[in-house]
Amino acid sequence: MRLNEKVAVVTGAASGMGKAIAELYAKEGAKVILADYNFEGAETVASGIVANGGTAKAVKANVAESSDIENMINTAVSEFGTLDILVNNAGIMDGFEPVGDITDEKWDRIFDINTKSVMRATRKAVSIFLEKGKGVIVNTASTGGFNGAHAGVAYTASKHAVVGITKNTGFMYANKGIRCNAIAPGATITNIESTMTNLNEFGTSRTQVAQSVIPRAGQPEEIAQVALFLASDESSFVNGTVVTADAGWTSAF
């Protein structure tokens, strides 16, 4: 198995891409901490993993809270003895608001969840990885992390920042045995739309220009396969980069 005896923390693991990643990691031999604000959902996923012979534990985590991030990683160490893989997957969407319409409150909330949580969790994980002399970080970015037409200004900026964190972390710790990469999913069938409220009419109409050339929507399991590759030794020479998984969407422009 490609992740045999590895210990992984996956955020946003109660549904969507996080769920698919956690399940695949467990199938490949990892012991997985499933962190999510939706604790009941995470427990259900964890129970399914255990029922299929895997090892998993659910932890309630609001990734916007520093204490919850500390707790989820500390739980991995206390339950399974260490941490080998961190997957920063939790995230929310904006309402397609352009900069003229975004509020400070919404901007701050999106950055707390999408960006600051990545920094905080990575900071905590790196302290463990430096002692071990190795470790892997996989961030969920977005095609919106290098394109301006896929979301509103807050989500777009937050994912651009995740790409920056990924590249900087990969470079800074490249000679310390630590790898950090990101996945940029295109349109993927998850429940992230449930985090979208009060859609901005102007912003939504503008993004439809790019959406019109989406080849197809992806499945969470397809993104999980990329996350497995990035977490495994098969990607040992891949570091500080972003893997685009969008069926060719962004190759159009």
Paired strand residues for 55: 31
pLDDT value for 190: 86
Residue 217 belongs to domain with CATH number: 3.40.50.720
Residue 195: what pLDDT? 73
- Identify the domain containing residue 154 by its residue range: 7-252
Query: Is 16 inside a domain boundary?
Result: yes
pLDDT at 44: 98
Q: Tell whether 2 is covered by a domain.
A: no
Give the strands of the sheet with 178-185, arranged side by side. Answer: 55-60, 31-36, 7-11, 85-88, 135-140, 178-185, 242-245
Model-level pTM? Answer: 0.96
Q: What pLDDT, on the 0 to 100 scale, is given for residue 218?
A: 96
Q: What is the predicted pLDDT for the residue at 146? A: 95
Q: How many domains does the chain have?
A: 1
Q: Which segments in the chain show pLDDT lower than 70?
A: none
Q: How far apart are CA 180 and CA 116, in angstroms?
A: 16
199 in a structural domain = yes
Whether 151 is in a domain gets the answer yes
In a domain, 1, yes or no: no
Reported as half-sphere exposure (CB side, CA atoms, 13 A), residue 59 has a value of: 26
Task: Please report whether residue 130 resides in a domain.
Answer: yes
- The rounded distance, in Å, linking the Cα atoms of 213 and 162 is 25
* CA distance readout (Å), 150 to 93, 102, 165: 11, 16, 20
Closest CA relative to residue 33, chosen from 52, 18, 51, 16: 18
Q: Tell me the CB-side half-sphere exposure of residue 43, using CA atoms within 13 A.
A: 5
Between β-strands 242-245 and 85-88, what pairing exists: parallel, antiparallel or unpaired? unpaired
Q: Which residues are catalytic?
A: 155
Asked whether residue 26 is assigned to any structural domain, the reply reads yes
107 falls within a domain: yes
Would you state the structure tokens that stand for residue 251, as one six-digit string?
């190759």
